[in-house]
């Protein structure tokens, strides 16, 4: 069934595991994620970013996920990832996404509070949960000077104030991860994560998980992360599967044939990520 992320994440928070959230671009990726989740009896979140929504449309992704999730044997949530305006969040809410992220992390603290509150207000009385972000997931460079680091990483006291003022359901925090693959080993501020976890009661979200060593993801979950976002690695897996078959056989022209190859690669990857999130059997 299609559910909101609210209960899903609260349950994960109590159970010391994380729900894995996967960015999907097409039907094959949606199918791969749900098939993997069903095989492992795990709750799962499918999500689309603004650029993905622009590519296929809210209604298209929502309908596709709905068609598959309705008959799925595990709880599935449909989430707008990095919603960059209240307007897009509104469209996702009206389009019956079950979960929405408003990303005001590039704004000032006060403006971020304002815009996040606005979206929480939109979802009021609906069973839609709202994720917000404080701090910047990016990590373009290592070795920032302290002041820069403080501006980039989530400040624990600010996180508490932010949650109290906005009433968001979950919070994405910046502890040194970055979107995409990493050049060299990422330095994750686990101490900061523990400090945030101690004073913030709502579920915490880790972005940028592609390219992180499994041990890093596992440790972050042990310290309190209960939603982990994976995007780049899924796109890479899909393309790897497609490319392999097209490169090896120039006579292949049926999209079903290479789509199947991409789907198989994504499914294997997703099963591994669900396993490191410790959500196997938690459906
Ligand atoms: P990656 O592309 O590094 O997996 O980041 C995923 C993410 O945070 C999506 O919001
Ligand atoms: Zn992200
Ligand atoms: Na990453």
The parent domain of residue 252 ranges over: 5-276
Mean pLDDT throughout 113-118? 98
Pocket of ligand 1 contains residue 179 by CB under 6 Å: yes
Pocket of ligand 1 contains residue 96 by CB under 6 Å: no
Q: How confident is the model at residue 145 (pLDDT cuts 50, 70, 90)?
A: very low
Q: Is 85 exposed, middle or buried (0-12, 13-18, 19+ CB in 10 A)?
A: middle
Does the residue 50 lie in any domain? yes
Distance 126 CA to ligand 3 centre (A): 32
Does the residue 283 lie in any domain? no
Pocket of ligand 1 contains residue 232 by CB under 6 Å: yes
Three-state secondary structure readout of the chain: CECCHHHHHHHHHHHCCCEEEEECCCHHHHHHHHHHHHHHCCCEEEEECHHHHHHHCHHHHHHHHHHHHCCCCCCEEEEEEEECCHHHHHHHHHCCCCEEEECCCCCCHHHHHHHHHHHHHHHCCCCCEEEEEECCCCCCCCCCCHHHHHHHCCCHHHHHHHHHHHCCCEEEECCCCCCCCCCCCCCCCHHHHHHHHHHCCCCEEECCCCCCCHHHHHHHHHCCEEEEEECHHHHHHHHHHHHHHHHHCCCCCCHHHHHHHHHHHHHHHHHHHHHHCCCCCCC
**How much is the pTM?**
0.95
- Which of 23, 52, 131, 211 to mutate to test ligand 1, by most ligand atoms within 8 A of the CB atom? 23
The pLDDT tens digits for 170-209 are 999 999 999 999 988 889 999 999 999 999 999 999 999 9
Does the residue 282 lie in any domain? no
Establish whether 232 is an annotated binding residue.
yes
pLDDT of residue 150: 58
- Whether the pLDDT of residue 214 is over 60: the answer is yes
Does the residue 172 lie in any domain? yes
ipTM of the complex: 0.99
Does the residue 193 lie in any domain? yes
* Residue nearest atom 8 in ligand 1 by C-alpha distance: 207
The single residue listed with the structure tokens 């109290």 is 164
* Total tally of structural domains belonging to the chain: 1
- Whether the pLDDT of residue 19 is over 60: the answer is yes
- Which ligand ends up closest to the CA of 233? 1
pLDDT of residue 142: 39
pLDDT of residue 277: 98
The single residue listed with the structure tokens 């999130």 is 277
pLDDT of residue 204: 98
Does the residue 128 lie in any domain? yes
Q: Which residues, other chains included, contact 168 with Cβ-Cβ below 8 Å and sequence gap of 6+?
A: 116, 120, 130, 131, 132, 162, 202
CATH of the domain at 19: 3.20.20.70
pLDDT of residue 149: 57
- Whether the pLDDT of residue 210 is over 70: the answer is yes
Does the residue 136 lie in any domain? yes
Question: CA-based angle 256:79:31, to the nearest 5?
Answer: 20
Does the residue 281 lie in any domain? no
């Amino acid at each position: 069934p299609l559910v909101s992320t609210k209960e899903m994440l609260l349950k994960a928070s109590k159970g010391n595991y994380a729900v894995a959230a996967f960015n999907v671009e097409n039907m094959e990726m949606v199918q791969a994620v749900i098939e993997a989740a069903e095989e492992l009896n795990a709750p799962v979140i499918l999500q689309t970013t603004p650029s993905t929504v622009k590519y296929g449309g809210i209604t298209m992704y929502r309908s596709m996920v709905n068609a598959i999730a309705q008959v799925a044997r595990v709880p599935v949530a449909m989430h707008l990832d990095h919603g960059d305006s209240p307007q897009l969040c509104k469209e996702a809410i009206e389009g019956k996404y079950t979960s929405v992220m408003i990303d005001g992390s590039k704004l000032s603290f006060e403006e971020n509070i304002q815009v996040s509150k606005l979206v929480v207000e939109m979802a009021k009385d609906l069973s839609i949960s709202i994720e917000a972000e404080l701090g910047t997931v990016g990590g373009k460079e290592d070795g920032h000077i302290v002041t820069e680091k403080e501006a980039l990483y989530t400040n624990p006291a600010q996180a508490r104030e932010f949650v109290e003022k906005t009433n968001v359901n979950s919070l994405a925090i910046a502890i040194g991860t970055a979107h995409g693959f990493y050049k060299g080993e990422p330095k994750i501020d686990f101490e900061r994560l523990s400090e945030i976890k101690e004073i913030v009661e709502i579920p915490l979200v880790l972005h940028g998980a592609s390219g992180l060593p499994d041990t890093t993801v596992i440790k972050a979950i042990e310290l309190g992360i209960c939603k982990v976002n994976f995007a780049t690695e899924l796109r890479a897996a899909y393309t790897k599967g497609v490319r392999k078959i097209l490169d090896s056989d120039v006579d292949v022209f049926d999209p079903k044939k290479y789509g199947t190859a991409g789907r198989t690669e994504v499914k294997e990857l997703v099963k591994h990520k669900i396993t490191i999130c410790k959500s196997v059997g938690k459906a």
